[in-house]
Every structure is written in C-alpha cells, then in structure tokens.
Structure 1
C-alpha cells in the first residue's frame, strides 16, 4: 500500500520549500489536497514526481514546484475570486480553493471535466465551480476575476481572457518560446496588462494559446 501522505510531505519538503515558497496557505493546501486523486488511476504512483505529469489530450499536470511558485507570485487572499484556465482533473483548483473565496475551473475536455467534478466532490472541496468551455473563452459569465492562472504553456494570452481580469487584478502565465519558458505575472491597470518576469519553467503550449504567425510572401 503506497503511503501517499508521506509522499505529499516529501513533495513539500523537497520540491516546494526549497523553491523559496514559504507562505502558509500554499504549504497547507499542498499538504492537504491529495494530488494522487486528481490524476488518472494508472498515473497515481507518479503523482508526486518533480516533473510535469502527462494527462493525455495534450495536457499536463504542472510539476509541484511550478504551481507552488505561480501561486506564491500571485499571493491570493481569502476574499478573492480566481479563474483557473485548463483545470484538467481539478488539482490546481482544489489547491487554490484552499486559499481563496471561490474558484471557477475552466476545462474544455468532457472527460477531464467529469473527472474534476468527481474528484473535487470526493475531496469535499465545495467552493469550486467546474465550467466546461473552450479554454480560450474562459468563463466571462462568472467574472470578472481578481486572479487568473493558466495551467499550461502559452505563447500569448487571448484578449478575451484578458478582458475577464478585474481592473487591479493579476494573472500568471507560463510563456513558452521554443523549449524555453518563463512564468510572468501580469497586473491589469487601466485596461492594459503589464508583465513581470517571475521564474523559469516549462510546459507544452495549450491548443489555442499559440501566437498567430505573421503571413509572409
């Protein structure tokens, strides 16, 4: 019988804390939420590895360090509404729910959405709404949001998503340029987002989040 509780503690002690993530709400959430319940059954044994976990359908569960550092940079508070783009089976949303008022988990895959609903209910997380829609559309009907986070690589953030961030709100994205990537946090002021570099990471670029290629003769 695998001791997942011990693996969870080890994940926090060897992947999260050494990455300078020390905020109590993040540590507490990552020690509490059972990551193995938010991955396909065949991948449970790999749930706590320090790398992105392939979920199929071109999607990954971001490595614990990347998610923890994104949350650290966003500094989410208890009274904030968060939209989690590409929530997959709901792990990131469950973690964020632990430190925010409510989370809208946007997922376009029917199977992943259903898995997320089940896993979140099983975990007793009751402040997450799973919203099935194309990731590039988000969930404008529930917004605007204090915070947005994208669970995967992007080359650019669609304007329709930028519009769902409140004035004064913020967003974390993992921008990929070929094989290299960096997480940036954007702050919305007067309708514009200004980006600040946070740390290096990597993940496959989500479908629909690639940059439009300029047409050349």
Structure 2
C-alpha cells in the first residue's frame, strides 16, 4: 500500500470506526476517496488530519468524521439521488458518489464550483454535477431527493429543502442561532405534511448564506 492508502485505512479505523461509525458502505467509501486530492497543496501533509482544513474563500473541507457521520445518518441507498449544499472542494460529494446513483452539489461561490469540478475530475468521479446557485433554495429541477446533506450552518431549516425531500427521505443540516455554533439536525419526511426531527448534538460549521439562510458570511 502507498502512503495515502495507509493514511485512509488509519483514518477509517482510528477516527471513524472507533467513534461508532459502523455502516460498511460508508467506511468503504471513506477508505477509497483520496482526500489529499481535495485539499490545497499547502495542506496535503495534513489531508487526513482529524479536523477541518481551510480551502480558501473563507471555507473549509469538513473533518472526516463529520463527513462519515452525515453519510451514515442519511442512510443512502445505491439507487439514491442526493443533493449536497456546499460543494467546497468536492470531497464530500466524492464520498456521496460512492454511496448513491447521482449527486447534485451546489455552491454559491463560482471559484469553489470550478475547484470542486476540477478535483472531482481528478478523482475519477463521473456521477456528480456541480452547480453555482443559492443552495438554500435547493435544486427544484432535480427534485425530489432521497437525501440532502448541508455542509453549512443555517439559522433555521430552509423550507425549500424540506419540500424537495422524497417521502422517506432524510435531510442532515447544522442549525443554530449562532453563525459559528449549531446542532446537527436530521429530518426524515414521513408524509407530505409530516416530518420527524432528531438532534445529534453540537457542531461548528461555516454559515449557510442565501435567501433562506444567513444574509452574509460574517
């Protein structure tokens, strides 16, 4: 095994499995996606560090554990269509692609859309479409979705995202009154009008900016 394969194996065992991530498909996806491709060159030596890393433009690539936890909570099937809000550098979308049939990833910053597309291409990902748009409004043209993953903290759950969930689908999103501190929330759509909400505890994400999020990133 090369150094990156070894690093991913160690990440899966030490950062994920030991913390309770048990979904075999999620663990396999985390073991296969080359995270070092999705970090800036200056951060490559810390690619598998147990924490978020800056990718520029005031944004971060999420901690491996948080990506794995989100994927596990979404319970993604092989034929699922997934919406990701906050493409970043493309890493989480690459993991999601290993679990789903199709991934639509949205970012409001064109610079990050271009970066994530380039990184995903380098990683050999073919079933991810990256769009520059207001992620708080979702992607009505592709709705409904089996799963929606939001990689930024919102002051409240955007109604647009809830409406774009299939019945039986799940949405994972950080929600809180603070722009830097939230609770990780999982919402399951039980029917056209009923939703079940679970609180998974405190997290810290960058702000979700948009029409149904924060008005600015400050």
TM score, norm. by length of structure 2: 0.88
Contact 1:153 1:175 in 2 (8 A): yes
Once the two structures are superposed, residues 188-214 of structure 1 have per-residue CA deviations (whole angstroms, 9 ceiling, x without a partner) of 232343311124322222223239xxx
Which residue is 1:101 aligned to? 101
Once the two structures are superposed, residues 81-131 of structure 1 have per-residue CA deviations (whole angstroms, 9 ceiling, x without a partner) of 000100111110110110111100111211111111111112111111111
Work out the CA distance in 2 between the residues paired with 1:161 and 1:197: 17
2:54 paired with 1:50: no
Contact 1:109 1:132 in 2 (8 A): yes
Which residue is 1:123 aligned to? 123
Which residue is 1:171 aligned to? 171
Which residue is 1:76 aligned to? 76
Which residue is 1:187 aligned to? 188
Q: Which moved more, 1:16-25 or 1:40-49?
A: 40-49
Work out the CA distance in 2 between the residues paired with 1:135 and 1:79: 23
List alignment gaps of at least 5 residues for structure 1. 212-217
Backbone CA RMSD of aligned residues: 1.9
Shift of 1:57: 2.3
Which residue is 2:23 aligned to? 23
Contact 1:58 1:206 in 2 (8 A): no
Work out the CA distance in 1 between the residues paired with 2:32 and 2:91: 11
2:156 paired with 1:156: yes
Work out the CA distance in 2 between the residues paired with 1:103 and 1:174: 20
Between the two proteins, the alignment pairs up a number of residues equal to: 210
Contact 1:93 1:105 in 2 (8 A): yes
Partner SS for 2:36: helix
2:202 paired with 1:200: yes
Q: Which moved more, 1:96-105 or 1:34-43?
A: 34-43
Work out the CA distance in 2 between the residues paired with 1:164 and 1:195: 16
Partner SS for 2:13: helix
Q: Which moved more, 1:79-88 or 1:48-57?
A: 48-57
Work out the CA distance in 1 between the residues paired with 2:117 and 2:14: 30
List alignment gaps of at least 5 residues for structure 2. none
Shift of 1:181: 2.9
